Structure 1
Amino acid sequence: MLYRLLHRWRWLGAWTLANLLLAWMISLRYVGYIQPEEAEQWGYLLMVFLGHLSLLVWLGALPMFLLATLLRGIGLWLITTLWASGLQLLLLLDTFVYAQYRFHLSSFILDLLLNAGETYSASHGSPGH
């Protein structure tokens, strides 16, 4: 029993590493908006880039490691694939939102995208009214 769980966790570790590499590739779209000039700035950018994304990907994988205690085989593979795909699509969407508005995804940006800003402008009123 424990051997099977460790085997699933080892598979999930490889799955997480693959998703981490994909997240790093997607996130390279952010680097064009950063203008480091010196070696220290490039080093800081590299460390923050790798560390921040690694933490986010591993936090995203944590529920799958817990789920591996309950599921196995095709069920685990299907859920982890759908979960990872959703998170990677969310990251990709964030890169597009950042390219357009220079903000990351938030409730304000979500409102702006879904309602074209109507809720925000209606709740704050317009000048002269």
Structure 2
Amino acid sequence: MQQARKAMEYAYVPYSKFRVGAALLTTDGKVYTGCNIECASFGGTNCAERTALFKAISEGHRSFEAIAVVSDNDEYTFPCGICRQVIVEFGKDIKIIVGTSDGKIETFTIEELLPHYFSGIDLKK
């Protein structure tokens, strides 16, 4: 969670002012961080979770233990729908650790957050 908070400092959010940071743990112990990056054309915006995932994937990692997600919000910040879909692509047991600005932490699996996910298996049916 500490590394996710640090990543949040780099968020580029001139429109929403909603900073999010993420820290992704690979199964071999490496951590990749990400922040959200906004664009005036909102469809070009990328979430912190996907930023961290794409960094790790682009460096050859395909197996992940957990991802921590935090924002400035007093409530838990969960991955959005598209981030959940990208996370589950790499395993239904990945832990999602969410935190609040005052330090509360909860842990879920991606399957708990996206129980009826679409996957590569569906493409083979």
Short-chain TM bin? under 0.3
Structure with the greater alpha carbon radius of gyration? 1
TM-score, scaled relative to structure 1: 0.20
Higher helix fraction: Structure 1 or Structure 2? 1
Higher strand fraction: Structure 1 or Structure 2? 2
